[in-house]
Amino acid sequence: MDGQTRPMIISRTPLRISIGGGGTDLPSYYRNFGGFVIAAAINKHIYVGINETFGGGYFLKYSSLEHAVSIDEIRHSLIREVLKLHEVPTGTVLARHVRNFADQSSRRTTR
């Protein structure tokens, strides 16, 4: 270890369910066709974590696994563009999980 701290960012966002119109809120769609969205949040959350890897490149975990040497090699278009926009350096892990840790710990019962 070199004694430097490694930053880690964890984001927790309520999980939204699109009941109707999913995707029509994207500018590429609604500018041409109009759009509407009916959505609801439920008591589950999406967690996104980002931290530095031990090696180079980008290691992405979502419904698939990716290891890309450069941002341009990332197959997931939304993740690729967010990483470009925020100039996230190489050597980054990004993981997305759907889970509600609060429910798991607070609803335990003794039998």
**Average model confidence (pLDDT) for the chain?**
75
Please indicate, yes or no, if residue 101 is contained in any of the structural domains: yes
Question: 83 or 21: which carries more pLDDT confidence?
Answer: 83
For the record, the structure tokens of 1 come out as 């270890």
For the record, the structure tokens of 98 come out as 């759907």
Instruction: Extract long-range pairs of 85-92: CB within 8 Å, 24+ residues apart.
Output: 88/50, 88/58, 90/56, 90/57, 90/58, 91/52, 91/53, 91/55, 91/56, 91/57, 91/58, 92/50, 92/51, 92/52, 92/53, 92/58, 92/59
Instruction: Say yes or no to pLDDT of 74 above 60.
Output: yes
Please indicate, yes or no, if residue 83 is contained in any of the structural domains: yes
Report the number of distinct structural domains present in the chain. 1
Q: Give the pLDDT band of residue 64 (cuts 50, 70, 90).
A: confident
Instruction: Say yes or no to pLDDT of 7 above 80.
Output: no
Please indicate, yes or no, if residue 21 is contained in any of the structural domains: no
Please indicate, yes or no, if residue 33 is contained in any of the structural domains: no
Q: What range defines the domain where residue 63 resides? A: 8-13+45-106
Alpha helices in the chain (DSSP H): 27-33, 77-85, 101-106
Instruction: Say yes or no to pLDDT of 30 above 60.
Output: yes
Q: Give the pLDDT band of residue 72 (cuts 50, 70, 90).
A: very high
Please indicate, yes or no, if residue 91 is contained in any of the structural domains: yes
Supply the pLDDT for residue 97. Answer: 52
* CB 67, CB 57: distance < 8 Å: yes
Share of the chain above pLDDT 90, in %: 3
